[in-house]
Chains A and B, each alone.
Chain A
Amino acid sequence: MITLKQIEKYYTLKGAKSYVLRHIDADIQKGEFVSIMGPSGAGKSTLLNIIGMLDEPTYGSYKFMDQELSSLSERKRIEIYRNHIGFVFQAYHLIDEMTVEENIEVPLHYKNISSSERKSRVADLLDRFQMVAKKDLFPHQLSGGQQQLVGIARALAPQPLLILADEPTGNLQSAQALQIMDLFRQLNKDEGITIVQVTHSEANAAYGNRILNLVDGVVTNNS
């Protein structure tokens, strides 16, 4: 599903190249649950952003579902977001002015999904995550774990093939973190959604079926 070849990312600072990623080669198959691990500053998030097309590699080739992305237009890329990728962030990044229900519904608006279909999908998700009673609350009225559940529900709403999660439990207490990780595993196993997560924690990484170790921008271990 994802093929990275010789991906490099560097910034030029006063003429000197400062590398974030070097010679990244990776293949991620459909249905995999991959954890990217490594110390701070290793380039984990950058790699995830490149996979999620929020960032562009300076060099190298990235194929998503057999399409070479560097040749895609902005419009095509948005098309892919809308249809195939859901993001989950460490800081949840819900829209503060929207209720739980509306937050889950927004991506469907951008996908031009009909009103009735939107309503039923949102209702399903609320039901599934046991958030029905909280659907009219605003993010700041929820606990961190609940906010992250909404974040995941939002990512799931467009029925993506791939979920990219950047330290999804980084801001959570351990009990809530466990709940979220269980959810990820369930999504991966039961629905076959491909998941790529960035994490610090060995325990979280263990939920996945493969770990990419990243040190100073280089993959040191791909197991």
Chain B
Amino acid sequence: MFRLNLKISLRNLWKNKGYTFINIGGLGLGLACCIILLLYVAYEWGYDKQAPDFEKTYLVYNHQQTSAGVFSHPTTPGAFAAEAKQNIPGVSRAARFSYPKDGLLTEGTHVFKKSGVYADPDFLKIEGYDFLSGDASSAFSQINTVILTRSLAKSIFGETDPLGRTVKLDNKEPLMVTGVIKDLPGNKTITFDYLMPWALLEKQDPFFKNQNWNNNFCMTLVQLERTDLFAKADAQVRQLYSKHESDKISEYTLYPIAKWHLYNNFENGKQAGGKITQVKIFLLLAFCILLIACVNFMNLSTARSEKRGKEVGIRKTIGASKKALVNQFLLESLLMSFCGMLVAFVCIELCLPYFNRLLDISLTVSYSDWRLWLALIGLTFFTGIVSGSYPAFYLSSFEPVIVLKGIGKSSKSAVSVRQILVVSQFVFAVCLMICSIVIYQQLNFIKNKSIGYNKDQLVEIQVQGDMFKNAAKLKLAKDKLLQSGVTKHVSFFSMSISEGYNNTFAISWPGKNPNDKTLFDIRSTGYDFMSTLGAEMIGGREFSPEYADSSNVIINNAAAQAMGLKTPVGSVIKWGDTDVKIIGLVKDFVVLSPYKKVDPMVIYYNLEDIRYILVRLDPAVPVNAALQKINAVMESVEPGFPPAVKFADDNFETKFQNERVLGSIANWFGGFSIFISCLGLFGLALYMAEQRKKEVSIRKVLGANPLQILTLLNKDFMRLVGIANLIAFPLAYLIIQHWLEGYSYRIELTFIPFLIALVLSVCIALLTISMQSIKAVRANTVDALKYE
């Protein structure tokens, strides 16, 4: 029986090629969307879960009291790790590590600019890296050592064994290669190309030996012996700060490293979601799109029930039970979903590179992973059964007498189920459409919102090598850049212009409330800062060679408001124990997040702290030529270091990554879901045109004009799309309003996205149906009537 049914199913598919194409195409597309989204969800879900003992590994979070509430971040004092390991029972390992930072590795004449991390030896064991050569226990036994990733080792040393060879860090420190590890997967929060011992960092910069509990400059990983020790260990960790300091500003907690990536938002010291929301949305989206594709299948199979009904009738009269028929139809839908899966695979292989580029990630389909196959088989069955069960039960319940006689062509209830299904498809599609329009609007709004400076034609060059803490060299670079003829202004900054943090509580002013814990961003700069950045002074002046500015500061508007000074310019405030005078007031400019209010900032003049050279390009010079010139200048000033030149707007763009991802995904998958829905609509219209051929012919004979007939045929479908829009509007409003509430700067919702969605969905649907109804109108009247 199975073989016969399979044969019949295949013949059926072959015979109705149009429906087969629509069905398999729709299912394939739906499955492809679903699988790509699921791959993405799995990728996000797997973040930081590669280490064998990741469940016992915790990141130390620091919750600091500020006047704006509790500020939570994963940076700790350097003394934390040692203290935790010694004094907290249950802690088996603890390691300090740094944020990844670009550095220069030189071997002979080859120079590699790659990202490196400093870490304690315990870090290697906690993370459980796969050593290809060398081993975790001895790799960091000496200070001047380095562990390379496989791909870096390959590009430096080729195929020869790098173990024991030497590379130079930043043209200074010779480092011996003591290990090579496998390349890190893309879904790790801390990634690097090479890893160096923390001791090396301390040797390079004695500041990092600092044992003060008030200075947070590293991240700390803690591994417990068992997970059930967590509560006790966490309780002790919470006490650590007050054990050493009396001001109660900080409190530490242990946070599972597996949650670092997805649950990364803290509000007032409490966990408040994070990227997990987005991942959940994508998971939901994945299944909704699959369901839309399944609905197509249900609609088309039930719409064609008249044809299949006869077969059901015959089979029943020759002894088929309902169960046998249900099985037969399920077999057919499983076959269909299997074919859909094959189509999906072609789509995925074609689209994945594009999707990866879009989201800037590296998803791969690992065919050797049994979990993948399990998921695929599961999805195939899920799709087959979901899409096939309703048609199977619907069709198999036909009474032979009725279908064999041809009475009651399609019963009323089936039509209404089909209508509900079409409406729900379009509700979903319209919702997605509205959401993606609003996301796009919001993104544009934020992007075009004034950020307080002009980020176009602004370039920042990282200070490398000897230039750091070398005022003469910085000035030389500035002069040369100005002379090159491609720049308008040049200035300095202590951080990248789009980098946040680096802040202090230690600012006080006349009349400051002793409990006030406002955090001030602190930045150092040089002359010509305002003209280079394109920021606006509200009052006072900027730093200038005509004055001695070493104890003067410029503050931003937010700082002036935080201090509540009547005439900020000219006031004297305290920074630590030093008196500084405010000489200028600058309009707020965004360094951290364009979505949030700008933090108070204090800008001082000290070339020792400069890490970036800011360059305002001459708009008259073509960008490429300007970049070439700048590179040449920088190489002449600091030979041996490839110039690190970046555009400010590129850096700024990365701040929109999350929204951009959400926007593109909503856009693309919204588009796909509309396409799939329309594919289904097309199939229904195809069927409708066939079914009403006779009616149309009779009407034509009776004198109806083509437009009247077209209206008649399209009316029913358009009503469904209209209803779908009506349902989708409030739904989309609620969803998108909720999303917008997460932003302090947001657009006002207008009727425009709704109007666009309405017009677009109606137009697309009309076009789809009309392709069929026009054919029905044009068909030869005689042919249709003769047949009967």
- Chain A residues at the B interface, C-beta cutoff of 8 Å: 45, 49, 52, 54-55, 75, 78, 81-82, 86-87, 89, 91, 93-98, 102, 105-107, 109-111, 154, 158
> What's the minimum C-beta distance from B556 to chain A, rounded to whole angstroms?
77
Known: A54-B401, A97-B8, A97-B11. A87 touches B318 (CB 8 A): yes
Q: Is the pair A93, B404 in contact by a Cβ cutoff of 8 Å?
A: yes
Distance, CA A52 to CA B404, complexed state (A): 14
Contacts of B1 in A (CB 8 A): 109-110
Interface bits B392-409 vs A (CB < 8 Å: 1, else 0): 000000011100110000
Q: Which residue of B lies closest to A107 (CB)?
A: B318
Q: Which residue of B lies closest to A80 (CB)?
A: B319
Any A CB within 8 A of the CB of B15: yes
Known: A93-B310, A93-B314. A111 touches B8 (CB 8 A): no
Any A CB within 8 A of the CB of B234: no
Chain B interface helix/strand/loop/mixed: helix
Distance, CA A106 to CA B5, complexed state (A): 10
- Picked from A54, A82, A95, the residue with its CB within 8 Å of the CB of B319 is A82
Q: Is the pair A54, B400 in contact by a Cβ cutoff of 8 Å?
A: yes
Q: List 23 A-B contacts (CB under 8 A).
A: A54-B401, A55-B401, A75-B321, A81-B317, A81-B318, A81-B319, A86-B318, A89-B404, A91-B404, A93-B310, A93-B313, A93-B314, A93-B317, A96-B311, A97-B12, A102-B4, A102-B7, A102-B8, A106-B318, A107-B318, A107-B319, A109-B1, A110-B324
Contacts of A158 in B (CB 8 A): 318-319
> What's the minimum C-beta distance from B442 to chain A, rounded to whole angstroms?
54
Contacts of A81 in B (CB 8 A): 317-319
Distance, CA A154 to CA B317, complexed state (A): 11
> What's the minimum C-beta distance from A62 to chain B, rounded to whole angstroms?
15
Contacts of A98 in B (CB 8 A): 4, 8
Q: Is the pair A95, B315 in contact by a Cβ cutoff of 8 Å?
A: yes
Distance, CA A106 to CA B318, complexed state (A): 8
Chain B interface size range:
20 to 34
Q: Which residue of A lies closest to B15 (CB)?
A: A97
Distance, CA A107 to CA B324, complexed state (A): 12
> What's the minimum C-beta distance from B326 to chain A, rounded to whole angstroms?
14
Any A CB within 8 A of the CB of B320: yes
Contacts of B400 in A (CB 8 A): 54
Contacts of B319 in A (CB 8 A): 78, 81-82, 107, 110-111, 158
> What's the minimum C-beta distance from A200 to chain B, rounded to whole angstroms?
17
Interface bits B292-326 vs A (CB < 8 Å: 1, else 0): 00000000000000000011011101111100100
**How many cross-chain pairs have Cβ atoms below 8 Å apart between A and B?**
62
> What's the minimum C-beta distance from A66 to chain B, rounded to whole angstroms?
21
Q: Which residue of B lies closest to A78 (CB)?
A: B321
Distance, CA A110 to CA B404, complexed state (A): 20
Known contacts A78-B319, A89-B404, A110-B324; 15 further A-B pairs (Cβ under 8 A):
A49-B401, A52-B317, A54-B399, A54-B404, A91-B404, A93-B310, A93-B317, A94-B314, A97-B8, A97-B15, A97-B311, A102-B4, A107-B319, A158-B318, A158-B319
Contacts of A45 in B (CB 8 A): 405
Contacts of A82 in B (CB 8 A): 319
Interface bits B1-26 vs A (CB < 8 Å: 1, else 0): 10010011001100100000000000
Interface bits B557-573 vs A (CB < 8 Å: 1, else 0): 00000000000000000
Distance, CA A52 to CA B4, complexed state (A): 27
Distance, CA A81 to CA B314, complexed state (A): 12
Q: Which residue of B lies closest to A157 (CB)?
A: B318
Contacts of B310 in A (CB 8 A): 93
Q: Which residue of B lies closest to A110 (CB)?
A: B319
Q: Is the pair B317, A106 in contact by a Cβ cutoff of 8 Å?
A: no
Listed from nearest, the 10 A-B pairs whose CB atoms lie closest are A82-B319, A110-B319, A107-B318, A97-B11, A54-B401, A109-B1, A81-B319, A87-B317, A93-B314, A97-B8
Contacts of A102 in B (CB 8 A): 4, 7-8
Contacts of B314 in A (CB 8 A): 93-95
Distance, CA A75 to CA B322, complexed state (A): 10
Distance, CA A107 to CA B315, complexed state (A): 8
Interface bits B311-346 vs A (CB < 8 Å: 1, else 0): 101110111110010000000000000000000000
Give the residues from 618 to 662 in chain B that come closer than 8 angstroms, CB to CB, to chain A: none
Distance, CA A23 to CA B454, complexed state (A): 97
Contacts of A78 in B (CB 8 A): 319-321
Distance, CA A102 to CA B311, complexed state (A): 14
> What's the minimum C-beta distance from A171 to chain B, rounded to whole angstroms?
14
Q: Is the pair A109, B4 in contact by a Cβ cutoff of 8 Å?
A: yes
> What's the minimum C-beta distance from A95 to chain B, rounded to whole angstroms?
5
Distance, CA A81 to CA B317, complexed state (A): 7
Contacts of A87 in B (CB 8 A): 317-318
Q: Which residue of A lies closest to B14 (CB)?
A: A97
Distance, CA A105 to CA B314, complexed state (A): 13
> What's the minimum C-beta distance from A80 to chain B, rounded to whole angstroms?
9
Contacts of B11 in A (CB 8 A): 97
Distance, CA A94 to CA B310, complexed state (A): 9
Contacts of A49 in B (CB 8 A): 401
> What's the minimum C-beta distance from A222 to chain B, rounded to whole angstroms?
25
> What's the minimum C-beta distance from A168 to chain B, rounded to whole angstroms?
14
Contacts of B324 in A (CB 8 A): 110
> What's the minimum C-beta distance from A101 to chain B, rounded to whole angstroms?
11
Distance, CA A94 to CA B311, complexed state (A): 8
> What's the minimum C-beta distance from A51 to chain B, rounded to whole angstroms?
12
> What's the minimum C-beta distance from B406 to chain A, rounded to whole angstroms?
9
Distance, CA A55 to CA B320, complexed state (A): 16
Distance, CA A154 to CA B318, complexed state (A): 9
Distance, CA A94 to CA B399, complexed state (A): 17
> What's the minimum C-beta distance from A191 to chain B, rounded to whole angstroms?
19
Distance, CA A154 to CA B405, complexed state (A): 20
Contacts of B311 in A (CB 8 A): 95-97
Distance, CA A128 to CA B405, complexed state (A): 30
Q: Which residue of B lies closest to A52 (CB)?
A: B317
Most buried by A among B4, B314, B321: B314
Q: Is the pair A110, B318 in contact by a Cβ cutoff of 8 Å?
A: yes
> What's the minimum C-beta distance from A129 to chain B, rounded to whole angstroms?
17
> What's the minimum C-beta distance from B787 to chain A, rounded to whole angstroms?
15
Q: Which residue of A lies closest to B313 (CB)?
A: A93
Distance, CA A55 to CA B565, complexed state (A): 95
Give the residues from 228 to 253 in chain B that come closer than 8 angstroms, CB to CB, to chain A: none
Distance, CA A140 to CA B315, complexed state (A): 18
